[in-house]
Structure 1
Amino acid sequence: MNYPEPIFVSETTSTNNYLANLCDRQNQPDMTTVYTTYQSAGRGQRGNTWESEAGANLLFSFVVFPEFLEARRQFLLSQVTALALQEVLSAYTPDVTIKWPNDIYWKDRKLCGTLIENDLTGTCISRSISGTGINLNQEQFPAHIPNPVSLFQITGKRYEQRPILEQVLERAACYYELLKAGDAETIAGRYKEVLYRRDGFYPYEDEAGIFQARIIDIEPIGKLILEDETGLRREYMFKEVSYVL
């Protein structure tokens, strides 16, 4: 699948906001992309902000219009983006996994984060904007940011933003074509293969406290299925459980 020439902006408040405004003003094709090396008001999951050193990293958003996709299956869009990122970044360093639902981890540290914003028309998704920040060349991070890591810190090498962006878009476009063709099974299967902590028991925390459990499945709606050490099955949607790192 071809994708339009990515649009570079030297600075913006948020690439998600920039792209949403662009789409509101004029119809755009699938995979229209905006990227920058600095955003002043980037947003992350759970209402967090995304902090990034100016010029050091790759910040981008792309849009698709999956009107064929029911809202209850929107987790597939998260999987499409996460798989593209995991595959591309794995070519630069080993030990890259997807931490449910869509963070990209190197070992136990966060290399990349994504915020997906969907618009609905009826029961289907009319527009989906996926915004991602990849820590590329940042040498140090503020102390209050938990467990970040950059590709530079891992490999000791510096990276140009544009080639990595193009690689991610190419993989995302391929997975989106799979989604359009109705092959959700391949997407879900590959996602499970590269999950962070997919084997063994690890600590998690929910509203009742910390417990040890292992991942046994990810349901199509995105629900995380855990089994604790007593054999009890535990089910969680986003924000209902956290990893203890």
Structure 2
Amino acid sequence: MFLTDKNIIVFNELDSTNNYAKQLVKEKAAQGTVVLAHYQDSGRGQVGNFWESEPNKNLLFSVLLYPGFLEAGKQFYISKIVSLALTEVLKEHINDVKIKWPNDIYVGEKKIGGILIENTVKGITLDSSIVGVGVNVNQEQFLSDAPNPVSMKQLLKNDFDIHEILKAFLQKLENYIEVLREGRLEKVDAEYFQSLFRNEGFYPYQKDGKAFSARIAGIGSFGQLQLEEPDGNVTEYMFKEVEFVI
């Protein structure tokens, strides 16, 4: 099991759990080592975005993985299984939890969680993966200009045990790592697509300030979002090349 007392390093405050985890990778810390912070003053999201979090209210952590069995070209599978594990945990409490491509976690049309994965490659395989996760758990007000945050407490009016959510996530992540190790990629592909936000029907998107309508046709081997427009034309987009209009 990943989850042992000696493998969780807890900080009251940290600039970024991913930054600290990078140092642990250099020191060859054990697989499954978790860096948990009650507050991050420089929490990061995708492509430099800032993650707002009130102290002691939310789940903010990074976990170290060494998925040397996985080819470097298949590293998006780490993103898929992390997203699926987190989605499954939240579904135990909340309805309508989806993965907004590539790995934001949504409830309805509001963002409840985000994931930042930083991989290193050695030869033709992955060497390490630092999996950074932020989940809005007990925060009741959001003051930044983030467009659509929501927390578990806002939705359900209850306080939640952050450590219990972490424990459940690590157990589910470990299960999915075994699925990858066994080479059952089709299972991961199917579950990821089934869990995607707006995976059925046409919705508005935007590229370079220009709006268009499309439906999600699939996910490419490197994680590209494949969008089909009403005329049948399919275009692939990498991260940040296209925006969901919400």
Common fold by TM > 0.5 = yes
SS at match of 2:118: strand
The alpha-carbon deviation at position 208 of structure 1 amounts to 6.2
SS at match of 2:235: strand
The alpha-carbon deviation at position 56 of structure 1 amounts to 0.8
Query: Relative to 1, partners in 2 of residues 1:109 and 1:187: Cα closer, same or farther, differing over 3 Å?
Result: same
Structure 2: tracts of 5 or more residues without a match: none
**1:233 is the counterpart of 2:221:** no
Q: How many residues are matched?
A: 244
Contact map agreement 1:204 1:211 (CA 8 A) in 2: yes
Contact map agreement 2:62 2:133 (CA 8 A) in 1: yes
Match of 2:175 in 1: 174
The alpha-carbon deviation at position 192 of structure 1 amounts to 0.7
SS at match of 2:190: helix
Deviations 1:95-153 (A, max 9, x none): 10000000000000000001000111123210100001000011110141110000111
Cα distance between partner residues in 2 of 1:58 and 1:98: 18
After superposing the two structures, state which structure 1 stretch, 112-121 or 202-211, moved more: 202-211
Match of 1:50 in 2: 51
Deviations 1:173-223 (A, max 9, x none): 110111111111111111111110011110001126110111111122111
Aligned 1:2-81 pairs, distance under 5 A: 2-5=2-5, 6-25=8-27, 27-81=28-82
The alpha-carbon deviation at position 71 of structure 1 amounts to 1.7
SS at match of 2:79: helix
Structure 1: tracts of 5 or more residues without a match: none
> What code does the residue aligned with 2:84 have?
L
> What code does the residue aligned with 2:169 have?
V
Contact map agreement 2:2 2:33 (CA 8 A) in 1: no
Contact map agreement 1:3 1:30 (CA 8 A) in 2: no
Contact map agreement 1:76 1:220 (CA 8 A) in 2: no
Normalised to the residue count of structure 2, the TM-score between the two structures is 0.95
> What code does the residue aligned with 1:95 have?
D
Cα distance between partner residues in 1 of 2:237 and 2:85: 24
Contact map agreement 1:42 1:50 (CA 8 A) in 2: yes
> What code does the residue aligned with 2:26 have?
D
> What code does the residue aligned with 1:165 have?
L
